[in-house]
Amino acid sequence: MKTRTLASASLAALAAGALLLTGCSSGGGGGAGAQGDELDGLTGEIGSKDFSEQYILAYMTAELLNAHGADVEANTKLVGSANVRQALENDQFLGYWEYTGTSWITYNGNTTPVQGAEEQFDAVKEADAENGIAWLDPAPFNNTYAFAIRQSEADELGVKTLSDVAALPATDQTFCIESEFSTRDDGMPGLTEAYGFDASITMLDTGVIYTATQKGDDCNFGEVFQTDGRIPALDLVVMEDDKEFFPSYQGGFTLKQSTLDDYPEVADVLAELSPLLTTEVMQELNAKVDVDGEDPEDVAIDWLEEQGLI
């Protein structure tokens, strides 16, 4: 899932070379599915972090911009959030999809999230404006941390919220988490303090947590990311964060303000896409890649065509 921490120095050193490698995307503006030519002259690369959701969003964005006259490609080869952000700052990427919580905490150096998705977006938009980076209107989806449990066990335990989980006997408060989450301020230490858990912890790799939670042998509750397609595929249900502990990781397209000044129509074009990208839609699209094994570019193009956007 989304990389929320700064990449290592070694990855940063490789960034320049990695930027030369570009993912494939269909050709420039005016081709099949053309919707207009208002972005004629806009060229460059749409960046992506290194996981399925980001690949899908990059290909969607490139295809949609090209349908309105641009000539851009999706670059899905770069590794690490910090490297992708740096590529934008260095004008090596035209733009990419970022998450509000990542920018607020990782890039802007804040330790406390702003409660409320709209309030968090407004805060990060203002902060990044000082860095010369513009945020277009965000999509509804929120790829935040969450805890999920298999639906059958949720029904048996009668839990819907994290406060419900905290009220369970200690023997039922079993959690599978990744190692990074065990030490983050916005991870298990802060969560335990906020809700008063009396938890038993099992440390697992991120990908294993989903299947372990579905089996229920190692834990009842597994750390997940809310837009992951494996949640519905494995019949898991997410517990409501009723105290709004986790930061909002709402997705929005970011680009240099100077680029937006030159091509303000980018905002209008992407405004056709963003409102359609709910958490449920992203779960479905991510599942096509992570569960069904489909190609992210094919998933992006098929969905855009279904929506009549290209």
Domain ranges, ordered by start, for the chain: 9-142+248-306, 145-238
Residue type, 43: T
76-118 pLDDT, tens digit per residue, is 999 888 899 999 999 999 999 999 999 998 899 998 888 889 9
Question: Can you name the CATH fold of 145-238?
Answer: D-Maltodextrin-Binding Protein; domain 2 (3.40.190)
CA distances to 7, 103, 139 from 13, rounded to whole Å, are: 10, 21, 32
Tell me, yes or no, if the two domains 9-142+248-306 and 145-238 fold the same way: yes
CA distances to 104, 132, 161, 196, 244 from 146, rounded to whole Å, are: 19, 32, 11, 16, 11
| Pairing, β 251-256 against β 95-99 | antiparallel
pLDDT at 59: 98
**Cα(61)–Cα(72) distance, integer angstroms:** 9
pLDDT at 80: 85
Q: Where does the pLDDT of residue 33 fall: very low under 50, low under 70, confident under 90, or very high at 90 and above?
A: low
**Cα(123)–Cα(79) distance, integer angstroms:** 27
What number of CA atoms fall less than 13 Å from residue 57's CA on the CB side?
Answer: 30
Bridge partners (DSSP) of residue 166 are none
pLDDT surpasses 50 at 296: yes
20, two tokens: 């030369």
Superfamily for the 9-142+248-306 domain:
Periplasmic binding protein-like II (3.40.190.10)
pLDDT surpasses 60 at 162: yes
**Cα(73)–Cα(180) distance, integer angstroms:** 33
Mean pLDDT of the chain: 89
Q: Where does the pLDDT of residue 206 fall: very low under 50, low under 70, confident under 90, or very high at 90 and above?
A: confident
111, two tokens: 């330790």
1-27 pLDDT, tens digit per residue, is 444 433 333 334 434 444 434 444 444
Q: What is the DSSP letter of 240?
A: B
Give the DSSP H/E element, type plus range, for residue 130: none
